[in-house]
Structure 1
Amino acid sequence: MNIGTCKGAILAGLMALAGCDVGGGATSAPLRQAAMANGALTLVAPEGFCIDKRSLKPSFALLARCDTLGDPQGAYGAPLGLITVSLSTAPPDAPPITAQTLEAALSGGTVLDRRETKDAVLLRVQGTAPARKGLSATYWRGTGQVGSHLVGLAMYGTADSGATGPEGGQVLDRLMQRTRTQAAASVVVAAQAATATE
C-alpha cells in the first residue's frame, strides 16, 4: 500500500469513527474557517487542518489534515489525525473550566497528560481503542469557551501519529486561539459598525 492510499484508508477510518459519510470523496476546496451556531461563532482551523464541508452542522464540525481533504499543499507538516468540534451554550453562572472538572466529566480512561492555557483545558487520555482498526486508544479531549459557547474538542490518530502525542494538544490549543481571536475581532468590527451608524 503506498503512502497516499494509506492516508486515505486512515482518514476513512477516522471519518467512520465520527459518524461521517466518506462516500463522496474529498472536496476540491476545503474550508479554513466556517460559521457555526447560526453565525454566532466562526471556527478557525489550526495550521495544516481544514474543515470537512460534509460534516458541518450548526453545533458540530470535523477537521482533518488539509491534504486528505483535497488541498495537497495545505498540510504544512501537521500530524495525520481527526479533530471533532462540538458546541453547546455555556450557562451564564458556570464556574471556570479546569483540568479537574474536565477529568471528572470523563466517562472513563486514564489521564496521561494535562494542558491548561488561557484558551483551553486539554487532557491526553488512554481509554478504550476505537472500533476502527489502526486507531490509537490514546487521544485528546478538551474544552474552552468562546463568547457564550462551550467548545468541546477531541483529536484522534494512529499510535505513530503526532496527533496522539503532545503535538495533538498543541494543535487543539491553536484551534482555540484562532477561534477566540476571530471572535474578538468580530466584536470590534461590530462595535465600530454600531458607532458609525450613530
Structure 2
Amino acid sequence: MNTGTSRGVLFGSILLGLAACEDFAALDLAGATTGENLALTNATLGGGMIKLVPPPGFCVDKRSLRQSFAIMARCDTLGGQLTTDAPLALITATTVKVTGPVAVSTSDFESPAEQVLQRRDDNDLALVQVRGSPPGDGMRDTYWRAAARIGNQVVGLALYEPSDGRDLGATAPALLTQMVERTHEQSVIAAVAAQDNSATAGPKPARQGFLSGLFE
C-alpha cells in the first residue's frame, strides 16, 4: 500500500470512523439509565484480529459494537460495577485492515475541520489533541485521538470529555496509551493461542502475515 493510499485509508476509516455508529450522538456520557447491564469487559474487532481492552474502570457498550467499531464508557454508567476511580469520558475505537509497510504518525490526523493543539509520536503510537466539533452534545470541543498499528490492523481511538466536567489534562492521553498497550498485549496472546490451537490439526505454518506483523 503506497503512502497516498494509506493516508486515505487512515483518514477515512479512523478520523471519520464515528460514522460507523449511527446511534453515537444518542449515547449519553452519563450512560445507561434503564438498569440494564450493557457493559462488556472487552470485545473483539477487526475480524477477530484485535482484542480490544478498555482502560481500568471502562467497559465496552454492547449496543455500539460493530465489526470494526466500539464505544467505551465508565463501567458503572453502563450498568456494570465501578472498580476503580475512572473518570467520566467516552472512548471510541475503530479498526482498519492494512497491508505493507504502513506506519502511523500524527500527520495522519490533519484535517481542515480540526485544529491540532498537541502532537506526540511515540514509537508506533501517534497521539494528538485537537479542537473541533465533537460527535455529540455535552462534549468538550477539545479531545484526543490516537492510532497504533497492531498486526495487520490500525486501531484508531478517540477520547471525549463531558463539557461540564473537570478537564482530564494528562490523564486523557495516558488512558489512550494504556489502552493501546493492553490491547496490543492481549491481541498478541490471542493470536499465539490461535496458532497453538491450529497446530494440533496439522503442521504449524511459517510465521508470516498477522503474527509476523505483531512481532516486527
Query: What's the TM-score once normalised by structure 2's chain length?
Result: 0.71
CA contact (8 A) 1:30 1:69 kept: yes
Q: How many percent of aligned residue pairs carry the same amino acid?
A: 32
Match of 2:173 among 166, 169, 173: 169
1:62 alignment counterpart = 71
Distance 1:27 1:173, change over 3 A: farther
Q: CA deviation at 1:79?
A: 1.4
Distance 2:141 2:22 in 1: 16
Distance 2:22 2:200 in 1: 48
Partner SS state of residue 67, structure 1: helix
Which digits, 9 at most, give the CA deviation of each residue in 1:18-58, with x for residues without a partner? Answer: 24567884542611111122322211111111000010010
**Superposition pairs of residues 1-198 of structure 1, within 5 angstroms:** 18-20=24-26, 25=34, 27-28=36-37, 30-74=39-83, 76-94=84-102, 96-99=103-106, 101-104=107-110, 106-118=111-123, 120-128=125-133, 132=137, 134-159=138-163, 160-163=165-168, 165-196=169-200, 198=203
| More helix per residue | 1
Distance 1:26 1:34 in 2: 21
Q: Which amino acid aligns with 1:97?
A: V
Q: CA deviation at 1:168?
A: 1.0
User: How large is the Cα RMSD of the aligned pairs?
Assistant: 2.7
Unaligned runs of 5+ in 1: 1-14
Aligned length: 178
Q: CA deviation at 1:60?
A: 0.6
Unaligned runs of 5+ in 2: 1-20, 204-216
Query: What's the TM-score once normalised by structure 1's chain length?
Result: 0.77
Distance 1:26 1:45, change over 3 A: farther
Distance 1:187 1:72 in 2: 29
